[in-house]
Structure 1
Amino acid sequence: MTGGEQYGVADVERGYRVGPWTVERALGSGAFGHVYAARHEDAAAEPARAALKFLPTGTHTPRQLRHLRELAEREVALLSRLRSPRLIRMHDALTVDDPGHPELDGATVLVLEEARSSLDALLTEDRTPRSGPELLAQVCEGLTQLHDAGWVHGDLKPGNVLLMPDGSARLGDFNLAPELDGTHAYAPAFATADYTPPELLWSEVGERGMRVRQTADVWAFGVLAHLVLTGSLPLPGPTPSARRDAAVRYARGEEDLRLSPGLPPLWREIVADCLARTHEERARYGSAALLERVTAAAAGRPHRRRRAPRPLLVATAALTALAAAGFGTLALLPEGQRSGPGDGRDAGAVSATVTGPPSSGRTPAVAATGWDRCAPASVCFFTGRGGTGEMCAWEGDEFNWTDGAVRCSWTGSRRPASVYNNGVADPDGYVHVVYYAEEALHRRLGCVEQGERRDLGEGAARILSHIWAKAC
């Protein structure tokens, strides 16, 4: 911890009742609470099992420790408002009313999903688990969901990454998580030193707490990724204090960052960017952009950066639409050619001349139809078979069709019925397209090769994401 003391947390005996829940065994503990496995009194209840998190209220005057109560309220507020698939879910929040046990009386108890284990426990068993890259991608998903909702985790570390019965990861322990107030949030002066960015190691604590930003989580993710992939922390030192001093020297430019030679090449740039010296440098790598890179690295391939839209193609599409609306002559000036002397247009501009609806005897321009609407270098999905109906097109990877850089609104209610991979030669060989049923590439549905046009099967699961790949 970078500040504060370890608060006393009362142990809860097996068989203790809280509401309809009966404590069975301890699952884990930390500075701010104990977690227990529990069963519901009604075996048919949903859920029938849960994890009870008893948040500390002290050992002498439990109902009067206001700062501890605020920590509990933070976690309840976040879990009550967010229902994201990579954040641990809260079923209920209870208050212990038990004057006979003053060490527990007034305690807040969170009824949470029961996790199987934690990333911390997994790393104890295996310093570099094979599932590490996939788990890191899921952790990054959780951070993105948290940041998109306007929160900062504030204490990302292996013990706060929970592993569910199916082996997937979810973020937990949000009693230090603050909500953004403008560009900053205000958190209690507690954090785990090894995962705290350098600027917060000497930060002043005001009346509202310590000023933090989401880039603090980006730093913590970089530390976590280095640990998971190499079995070691990125900054040298045998103790947390020594590593904290190394972080300060690094932030001041007195030492360079020396990443482990065991860090896989695909991850080296990601970790280095997360561990940039200053908030301003890390601010360029927001969690959404970071998620794209991490997901690609977890899949064992380089990140394919999004290509900027090409003005000529955009203009061509717009002019084709005008032609389809019944306008006549449409002329494109080639790149680098002016339309005439002194007209004020820059070289390279794309120009259109619209002369009005076609008169008799004039052949109108023909708009692209069906498959041909898909521009070169794009992959296009259509609502109808044979390239008919509405179309959504991408030049790069997209991990969430409904909320990504290119939003495809109709996929919220309709499934694609056909696809055309109109990819062109790529220097890295990424010309095929793999598509998935869920965000961030969890369940593969199929692959379409370069140049292939395909009708998708009836009743196929809804496609929500895709990546370009070297091979199907």
Structure 2
Amino acid sequence: MIRTWSPSGREWVLDEVVGSGSEGVVYTVEHRPGLVAKLAPLVAEPEVHRLRLDSLVRQGREPRTVKLLSGTPSRLAWPLETLVTSTGVVGYLMRDMRRAFLPFERQLLPTARRESLPEMTWGTALRTAASLAELLADLHAEGYVVGDLKPDNLWADAEGRTGLADIDSVQFTDGRLAFPCRMRSPGYTAPEGIDSDVLPDRSSDDFVLAVLVHQLLMGGLHPFHGLPADGTPYFSLDDNVRNGRCRFTDPASVLLPRTAPAADLLPRRLRSLFTEVFGRSGLTDPDSRPDAATWARALRAETRPGRLTACDRDDLHVHTVERPWCPWCDQQEHGAVTWGAPRTRSGPSEVSRP
């Protein structure tokens, strides 16, 4: 057990470790099942981090942030109160996202989906993508930049609602104080931030949003996944980003297994947005990228009645009505199962029948 104290002098006892990252460790809080606490023993500048947390706690009570935190379940694991240990390690209390959500990666990995979300379909993935875009658009509208947007700090539920944790790394200003985000995550960094000290902005978040939406809708496939088709050695996803190797915008640039989902399974309006982000203009001109609000509108439009259908072989094989045959059955013929197993339909459906 770890004893901590808030600025008011109240003692909070931290118990079991439930997660950890590059700078912090998350613990359960004794006698408070709805809360967890994050301590940051490895943060580079403890005093700056303390100022950041104090500012976030204060801003959590201001109108712009209160609006972000409204609703049930809360979409943000916002710092509620700062904590300090007897040895001076700084941390904060936050809501336990596990009470309402599952880790976001459960929606990206086929095996995890089948175990945790057996009823999930491509329609659910669309709703999750739309919810994530809406959350990001709301944060941007209030002056916050996530900066280190990635599956590890995201949460989602079976209805497609999303949440964000690791709020202590977001980029924001508080009066004359500026709190930058210098975190970088391989595969989830915009081109201008790869091997660079350039600070992220909203367009950086918009690039990573498109990556995450692609993964959700393509069964977990990263848009820059693949071996270089020209024989160049594969180094990393970031190297593929730098060199524009993307099956979606340049099919001849990468080699993918036959089990990869078909590139044409997406509706036209979403294909157009992906082309804007992952094509040459999106890679070199951040301002040209569609913003999160644009993504939210386009994704919500694809969830409307009549926009989804399911094949006759498997009710979990939901896809856009723009595609005349089932992409998931095609994928199964190549030995991959992305969505569930055949079952008997019961109750109301999210899809229409062709």
TM-score, structure 1 normalization: 0.48
SS of match in other structure, 1:220 = helix
Q: Where in structure 2 are the equivalents of 1:149-298 lying within 5 Å?
A: 149-163=142-156, 168-179=161-172, 187-203=180-196, 205=197, 210-230=198-218, 231-237=220-226, 241-250=235-244, 256=250, 261-263=261-263, 264-266=265-267, 267-276=270-279, 277-278=282-283, 280=285, 283=288, 285-298=290-303
Q: Where in structure 2 are the equivalents of 1:53-202 lying within 5 Å?
A: 53-57=38-42, 65-66=46-47, 68-69=49-50, 72=53, 75-76=56-57, 79-81=60-62, 82-83=65-66, 84=68, 85=71, 87-90=75-78, 92-98=80-86, 102=87, 105-116=88-99, 117-124=102-109, 125-126=112-113, 129-130=120-121, 131-163=124-156, 168-179=161-172, 187-202=180-195
Give a deviation string over 1:101-147, Cα, whole Å, max 9, x none: x3xx3412233244343102443412895232211111111101101
Q: Where in structure 2 are the equivalents of 1:361-400 lying within 5 Å?
A: none
Q: Matches of 2:54 and 2:180 in 1, distance apart?
A: 13
Q: Matches of 1:49 and 1:39 in 2, distance apart?
A: 10
Q: Matches of 2:306 and 2:28 in 1, distance apart?
A: 40
Give the partner amino acid of 1:56: P
RMSD between superposed Cα atoms in Å = 4.0
1:49 aligns with: 34
1:390 aligns with: none
User: Any gaps of 5 or more consecutive residues in structure 1?
Assistant: 1-12, 42-47, 303-427, 429-469
Deviation at 1:198, TM superposition (A): 0.8
Contact 2:190 2:208 in 1 (8 A): yes
Name the CA shift for 1:91/1:219 in 2 (closer, same or farther; >3 Å).
closer
Contact 2:57 2:79 in 1 (8 A): no
Deviation at 1:297, TM superposition (A): 2.3
SS of match in other structure, 1:162 = strand
Deviation at 1:294, TM superposition (A): 1.4
Q: Provide the identity percentage.
A: 21
Give the partner amino acid of 2:24: G
Contact 1:74 1:178 in 2 (8 A): no
Deviation at 1:249, TM superposition (A): 0.9
Contact 2:79 2:168 in 1 (8 A): no
SS of match in other structure, 1:226 = helix
Q: Matches of 1:270 and 1:65 in 2, distance apart?
A: 41
Give the partner amino acid of 1:192: S
Deviation at 1:33, TM superposition (A): 1.4
Q: Could you say which structure has the larger radius of gyration?
A: 1
2:26 aligns with: 35
Give the partner amino acid of 1:249: N
Higher relative contact order (CA 8 A, sep 6+): 2
Q: Where in structure 2 are the equivalents of 1:279-358 lying within 5 Å?
A: 280=285, 283=288, 285-299=290-304
SS of match in other structure, 2:29 = strand
Deviation at 1:278, TM superposition (A): 3.5
Deviation at 1:149, TM superposition (A): 0.4
Name the CA shift for 1:136/1:72 in 2 (closer, same or farther; >3 Å).
same
User: Any gaps of 5 or more consecutive residues in structure 2?
Assistant: 228-232, 255-259, 308-321, 323-351
Name the CA shift for 1:284/1:222 in 2 (closer, same or farther; >3 Å).
closer
> How many matched pairs?
269
Q: Matches of 2:284 and 2:169 in 1, distance apart?
A: 20
Q: Matches of 1:17 and 1:96 in 2, distance apart?
A: 5
Give the partner amino acid of 1:217: D
SS of match in other structure, 1:216 = helix
Give the partner amino acid of 1:126: R
Contact 1:114 1:164 in 2 (8 A): no
